[in-house]
Amino acid sequence: MTHADRGSIDRADELERRRRAQQFVAVFEAVDWDFAGSADGWRYGGGRDLGRLVEDARRSKAREAEGFAGD
């Protein structure tokens, strides 16, 4: 492979990266973002309450176990 060939590949890779970046930006621009109250959730001590998420996961796992046990 010649130096010129590598340059063509590098340019093609860069063009592909830019095309993908444009697609990502378009997706982000296409949706509504709601940041209401986000400062309260992320400041020192704000954290996130994952209790509901954990409980939902436990329930889902229990339902799956019941379904498999009944087969």
- Please tell me the predicted confidence (pLDDT) of residue 9: 75
- Determine the average pLDDT of the residues in 24-44: 81
Q: What is the pTM of this model?
A: 0.40
Per-residue pLDDT band at 20 (split at 50, 70, 90): very high
User: Average of pLDDT values for 6-35?
Assistant: 89
Max intra-chain CA distance, the chain: 65
Q: What pLDDT was estimated at residue 59?
A: 93
Answer for the pair 41, 47: CB distance below 8 angstroms, yes or no: yes
Residue 51's pLDDT is what? 77
What average pLDDT does the segment 32-48 reach? 71
Q: What are the angstrom distances between the C-alpha of 34 and each of 16, 22, 37, 59?
A: 31, 22, 9, 29
